[in-house]
Structure 1
């Protein structure tokens, strides 16, 4: 893996949410796991102590998540939302597309990986659909390669 840092573009709201999540992990979850480890250690023989092993594993996973979020925060680049253009599809645009095979119409907002939430209609900029839409204009058809084949999406509307 290269040591090159990859900028992570996000909104101020997305960065604030990451910082909140990190604070909770460090100030609530980390002490909780430390307490579980101490309690399990107090129960004696660690070689056959499943509680201790589970708590240590949970600690390792938490530390990995903390490191990942710290990395995202340190590489964060805030997008100036006042400079967002709607002439062509780009990050933070709300895009209404029509699947030309099925006729279904969907609206997604293209966001960073850390802000994506499919239930809220926030589609990661790294997904095949988002990558296929970038740079397209209203009326264009994007031929998007998905696992099931190629789907033609017509760009119906681009907004903020």
Structure 2
């Protein structure tokens, strides 16, 4: 069943890398943090135990990352980047003139391009939502978080090659 609000395109490489991270955090990572918390707890008074509080904070961040990865992988659409047909879609590289300056970026999830120099914009971002489905040569405006109307012209749409 497709859930367009949460479906995320991932390359096989990105999916495998994220799955390995989730496996590590869910097993070894949890064990390591539990040991650090127990060790800090043995030092005495928890109110003034900086090591204990730091370990608990790290545990919270780790559990949040686990939940994020679980949700991302649950709805991932794994495959190759879509072939560009000149239409902006998730997983394509877009060159656009944004507020007068040219930018080149990947439209999708930042996890796809973890090892890339490309900036990444989410499909749900104001810019991403405004250009989704637009063709090369199309112009549109979107409202920035500060309330300004930002003009955008889609110059080029390319297939993402992993770089």
TM-score, structure 1 as length reference: 0.77
* CA spacing shift, 1:115–1:126, aligned 2, 3 Å: farther
Deviations 1:95-150 (Å, cap 9, x if unpaired)?
11113x53x21111111254466962222222111111111111111212213411
**SS of 1:90 mapped into structure 2:** coil
Partner residue in 1 for 2:137: 139
More helix, by proportion: 1
Q: Larger Rg: 1 or 2?
A: 1
Deviation at 1:93, TM superposition (A): 1.4
**SS of 2:105 mapped into structure 1:** strand
The alignment of Structure 1 onto Structure 2 pairs a total of residues equal to: 153
The gaps in structure 2 that reach 5 residues or longer are none
**SS of 1:9 mapped into structure 2:** strand
Quick one: which of 103, 106, 119 aligns to 2:103?
106
* CA spacing shift, 1:79–1:43, aligned 2, 3 Å: same
The gaps in structure 1 that reach 5 residues or longer are none
Deviation at 1:47, TM superposition (A): 5.5
Quick one: which of 101, 125, 128 aligns to 1:127?
125
Range with bigger deviation, 66-75 or 20-29: 20-29
Deviation at 1:152, TM superposition (A): 1.4
RMSD between aligned alpha carbons? 2.7
Deviation at 1:57, TM superposition (A): 3.3
The structure showing larger relative contact order (alpha-carbon pairs under 8 Å, at least 6 residues apart) is 2
